[in-house]
Structure 1
């Protein structure tokens, strides 16, 4: 893969990541509530799902998944329901008095939240299957190019998620009392907003 093609790919991915989606909103919420270190487990879950989606695209499973509208719908609405549940739970937890200390989410739970949120967007497999061929030279071996594109995307996504999480964690450390409770409520609202965004994502391009 030539350097100019790789740079074009990086620029394309930057444009695609310029607006926050469900995973970024979840990262904001979890990092604000649990701190950046624990929030990174949410990012790890998201990136794990992305890797599996890329692998599925690379193995040619995208076409099979795209033809199963029922499976896509079930996966998507499971993720939407899960995010709404998490958001409502966090908003209710914010009602606790300042004298009570709400337990932080476990690392496993944070990882699972990130994984499910990303995996609940089954169109991502189709997206990767459509994106990668634009930058792959058919005259060169496929898998080395695929590895470069996949690793570049994961590194960039990880950097974006860390930046979101770091900003949310920094703000949370400087808020106390009622302001902190409102931050928790906003975090829960972010989760619900993430669910709405995920629900609005069309599973198939319009004709």
Structure 2
């Protein structure tokens, strides 16, 4: 892989990862509700989910999803339903002090929730399956090249997740008001529901 290709891949990843998709929204919401430290588990879960998608793409499932439309739609509807479920759960979340919420939330719950959000995003599987091969030199050993692209993507994605989480943390003081917390839960839940509906209606 040439330096020009490496730079192009990095640039594309910087742009794609910056978009406010379900994973980034989850990082921002969890940091706002539970604090930046707790949101690290959200970031970890999302990263593991993306890693699973990249490994599946390396095995050729990304191309399979592109060819077998029913597989794509099955994954898409599962992911959409899960996002809508998370949004409804936020709507129904009882108001409580931020300190209590951060203390009571289980880290494993944040990890598994983010993992499911990431791994049920079929666009990620198609994206990895379509993008990675463009930067792989088939005349060279493939595993090291794939590993390099994977590390670059995960690092850049993690940086953007941290940026979104910092944005969420900045509103924690504002959320100490029960009225503000109610509005945050309603808006955040609505955004997740809209994201779920948009995923369900997407043509990709």
TM-score strictly above 0.5:
yes
CA RMSD across the alignment = 2.3
Match of 2:146 in 1: 146
How far does the alpha carbon of each residue in 1:48-95 deviate from its partner, in whole angstroms, 9 at most, with x for none? Answer: 11111111111223233334333332222222222212211212225x
Shift of 1:112: 1.4
Q: Output the CA distance in 1 between the equivalents of 2:107 and 2:73.
A: 28
Q: Output the CA distance in 2 between the equivalents of 1:34 and 1:190.
A: 18
Aligned pair in 2 of structure 1 residues 97, 152: CA closer, same or farther (>3 Å)?
Answer: closer
Match of 1:93 in 2: 93
Q: Is the 8 A contact 1:31 1:39 kept in 2?
A: yes
In structure 1, the gaps of 5 or more residues are none
Aligned pair in 2 of structure 1 residues 49, 97: CA closer, same or farther (>3 Å)?
Answer: closer
How far does the alpha carbon of each residue in 1:153-188 deviate from its partner, in whole angstroms, 9 at most, with x for none? Answer: 011011101110111012113442122332232222
Q: Output the CA distance in 2 between the equivalents of 1:18 and 1:133.
A: 22
Shift of 1:114: 0.9
Aligned pair in 2 of structure 1 residues 47, 202: CA closer, same or farther (>3 Å)?
Answer: farther
Report SS of the residue matched to 1:17.
helix
Match of 2:70 in 1: 70
Match of 1:11 in 2: 11
Q: Output the CA distance in 2 between the equivalents of 1:39 and 1:146.
A: 28
Aligned pair in 2 of structure 1 residues 128, 198: CA closer, same or farther (>3 Å)?
Answer: same
Match of 1:193 in 2: 194
Q: Output the CA distance in 1 between the equivalents of 2:104 and 2:81.
A: 22
Q: Output the CA distance in 1 between the equivalents of 2:96 and 2:141.
A: 60
Q: Is the 8 A contact 2:45 2:111 kept in 1?
A: yes
Q: Is the 8 A contact 1:43 1:114 kept in 2?
A: yes
In structure 2, the gaps of 5 or more residues are none
Shift of 1:198: 2.3
Range that drifts further, 23-32 or 194-203? 194-203
Shift of 1:132: 1.1
Q: Is the 8 A contact 2:63 2:130 kept in 1?
A: no
Match of 1:48 in 2: 48
Aligned pair in 2 of structure 1 residues 97, 9: CA closer, same or farther (>3 Å)?
Answer: closer
Match of 1:162 in 2: 162
Q: Output the CA distance in 2 between the equivalents of 1:73 and 1:113.
A: 21
Range that drifts further, 72-81 or 36-45? 72-81
Q: Is the 8 A contact 1:30 1:187 kept in 2?
A: no
Range that drifts further, 118-127 or 141-150? 118-127
Q: Is the 8 A contact 1:83 1:117 kept in 2?
A: yes
Shift of 1:121: 1.6
